[in-house]
Structure 1
Amino acid sequence: MKNMILHTWGIHSLRLPSIFRIVAVVILGSILLPASPTLAHHGWDGFDTNNLVYVAGTVSSDGTWGNPHSHFDITVDSNLPASTPDLEIPEQLQDPEDSTRVKAAHAYNGSHNEIEVIIAPPTWSGMWGLDRALEVGERFQGVGYINREDNGLFRPVVFWYGDDSTPVNQVLDNTLPVRAPLPGSSTDSGDTPIMGKDVLELSENEKSGDWVVWAVFGIIALAIGVGGFFYLRRSIRGK
């Protein structure tokens, strides 16, 4: 497989030193690898945005605190209230069209005792005072959506952490990703779904991260090219 890739890209014929050939294979492999399952969960489209749910429990794993998003597991409370308790709503979601829906979210009724939570990158969460990873055993409550393909994956539009139930906004602008009809209301009631923006998709932190990745690829590729040139030049002179 390695020789086929090298031959396709014209690298094998250069007879580069082993180190250059190895680096070349790593770069090409990284580019050709398909997106990981975690990245496939990226964006609101993969979640059931017509149904806001409330979950509560305790953090049960260290998870990952970083880009393009953070995630961790929680053990779900065995007895959840029927709907969202009386919790502080972040400023960006205090519009009645949004806050009413957050407060009316039904309790999670899935089959998982433990679910994975995916949240915005640290830069965004830090704007709301959360500048660290949540600790195992820490209290977590959230209102958000269940993934359409993996009902053990939860993505909040807002969550509350710690004994003080500190709120952390997870959406851009001043609206939910989708203002779906309220539970029990008719689709003819005038509740037209309104699409919002995605903090995970549009975060500047993630965009800059993409540029860093491609810059590193560019530097390594340039190093391979320059190294190969001088190696060939030295080999020709030695003949």
Structure 2
Amino acid sequence: MLRRHLLLAAAVLPAHAAFAHHGWSSFDTARPLYLSGRARKVAWRNPHAEFDLEVDADLKLPADLAKRPVPAQSAGIDGARLFASAQLPTRKDRLWHVELAPLTRMGAWNVTELRDGDAVAMVGYTFAGEKGEPVLRVEYLLVGTATYGLRSSPA
């Protein structure tokens, strides 16, 4: 009987874990979004760093976002295009879950570990049609004057 319960538990756990984490293919990469605010509940761990973002009450696109310098290795690929086409989300959630890169890539970029309350901005993607939970997969993390391209490693 105990063995049967253990087998049942083993069969259910992976399904639950897969449901809780989603693949990157579900994100709408045709519509980059801009968010800014304060980091909350920062979890600097694998499989990727993540936190909740308390969105600025007066969220607006920075007038100079399209002119913000991008890292050299992404300048010719998509950095400038993403900044120029970034828009605000249509949904009005005040709290978003933010997914960054794996810790090895965060370390390669020398990104200082974020702390609860840090001011951050980002450009990234959410689910098509902004459906489901408010989740943003970050492509570019903006901390102060630094810009980190999280999809690749530094050149």
| Residue equivalent to 2:142 | 160
Shift of residue 82, structure 1, vs aligned partner: 3.8
| Residue equivalent to 2:115 | 135
Shift of residue 138, structure 1, vs aligned partner: 0.6
Q: Which runs of 4+ in 1 moved over 4 A?
A: none
Shift of residue 49, structure 1, vs aligned partner: 1.3
| Residue equivalent to 1:169 | 149
Counterpart CA distance in 1 for 2:94 and 2:85 is: 22
Shift of residue 129, structure 1, vs aligned partner: 1.0
Highest CA radius of gyration, 1 or 2? Answer: 1
Deviation per CA, 1:158-204: give whole Å up to 9, x if none. Answer: 1112xx23222111389xxxxxxxxxxxxxxxxxxxxxxxxxxxxxx
Counterpart CA distance in 2 for 1:117 and 1:46 is: 15
| Residue equivalent to 1:103 | 84
SS of aligned partner of 1:135 = coil
Counterpart CA distance in 2 for 1:32 and 1:108 is: 35
Counterpart CA distance in 1 for 2:75 and 2:148 is: 13
Higher strand proportion: 2
Q: Which of 25, 38, 61 matches 2:20?
A: 38
Q: Which of 89, 102, 106 matches 1:125?
A: 106
Counterpart CA distance in 2 for 1:160 and 1:103 is: 15
Runs of 5+ unmatched residues, structure 1: 6-24, 175-239
Counterpart CA distance in 1 for 2:108 and 2:121 is: 19
Single out whichever of 148-157 and 83-92 deviates more from structure 2.
83-92
Deviation per CA, 1:121-143: give whole Å up to 9, x if none. Answer: 111111111152x1111111111
Shift of residue 32, structure 1, vs aligned partner: 4.9
Checking the alignment, whether the CA contact within 8 Å between 2:70 and 2:147 is kept in structure 1 is yes
> Normalization by structure 2: what TM-score?
0.79
Counterpart CA distance in 2 for 1:125 and 1:100 is: 23
Counterpart CA distance in 2 for 1:82 and 1:64 is: 27
Shift of residue 76, structure 1, vs aligned partner: 0.8
Checking the alignment, whether the CA contact within 8 Å between 1:125 and 1:169 is kept in structure 2 is no
Number of aligned pairs? Answer: 148
Q: Which of 31, 35, 38 matches 1:58?
A: 38
SS of aligned partner of 2:42 = coil
| Residue equivalent to 1:234 | none
> Normalization by structure 1: what TM-score?
0.54
Q: Equivalent residues in 2 for 1:1-239 (5 A)?
A: 2-4=2-4, 25=6, 29-30=9-10, 32-33=12-13, 34-36=15-17, 37-39=19-21, 41=22, 43-59=23-39, 61-82=40-61, 85=65, 86-95=67-76, 97-132=78-113, 134-148=114-128, 149-161=131-143, 164-172=144-152
RMSD across aligned positions (CA) = 2.7
